[in-house]
Amino acid sequence: MIGFYDYTVVLTFLSILTSVFGMTQAMDGHFRIAIVCLALSGLFDTFDGKVARTKKGRTDDQKLYGIQLDSLADIVCFGVFPVMICTLMGVRGILGGIAVGFYSLCGVIRLAFFNVLETNRQTCPDAGEKVYHGLPITSIAVILPLAFLLGFAVSDYTFHWILMAVLLITGLLFILDFKLKKPSNLQIGLLIVIVAAAVSVVLLFYRHHIPDRKVIDQPLYEAITDSDFELCPEETP
């Protein structure tokens, strides 16, 4: 078989599988489960690089394979998956289409740039930095669960605008060239606790904005129904 198979890719594979399962749940209207899957994918992604670096003697091909695999996994887990959740939850219409398109494009641009930086780092270890350029795409696994907590305090209509704003602002932060210090292990642990608490609240108590119902029959853009063209009763031949 093509590819490289060892313990260094297990977490990346788990991240992909968790997100794909979350997508199926989102399409069935089970958004609480989808949010849990997004958070879990973020957790797996946080540690996959650390696990990979524990293996000594990796070849250049194995290192480059890991870079490409990680980016492809990220665009599925933190690019496509969040867009699907937000779209199915009501980010629709022309503005909604712009928001999901902008977020997706920014995510791809960021990951392509990340691949360039990581490839350079592998070929020249001294070129590595202790900072991120822009906001990491994995951060949506923290931001979106926290945004869902706002649904307790606002109406459905307002909540849809919040989700749209999250996509637009987060996407912009993906491509802005500012330096963000990489978190320490303590900070990573704190983030995990915060997200776990938010996910627990969503999973246990969030019912108003995340009903378990079918939503796949709702289009991205509002369709013009036949009723818009119906004649008044008195005009009917």
| Beta carbons within 10 angstroms of residue 49's beta carbon | 15
Q: What is the pLDDT of residues 20-42, one digit of tens each?
A: 999 999 998 888 889 889 999 99
pLDDT of residue 168: 97
In a domain, 226, yes or no: no
pLDDT at 80 over 50: yes
Q: What is the pLDDT of residues 57-76, one digit of tens each?
A: 888 888 888 889 999 999 99
pLDDT of residue 51: 85
pLDDT at 9 over 60: yes
| Of 171 and 151, the one with more pLDDT | 171
In a domain, 5, yes or no: no
pLDDT of residue 124: 64
Query: Which residue, chain included where needed, has tokens 């292990």?
Result: 185
In a domain, 38, yes or no: yes
In a domain, 153, yes or no: yes
Number of compact structural domains in the chain = 1
* pTM across the whole model: 0.81
In CATH, what number is assigned to the domain containing residue 58? Answer: 1.20.120
> What is the residue range of 126's domain?
10-206
Q: In this predicted structure, which of 140-144, 163-167, 178-182 has the lowest mean pLDDT? A: 178-182
pLDDT at 19 over 50: yes
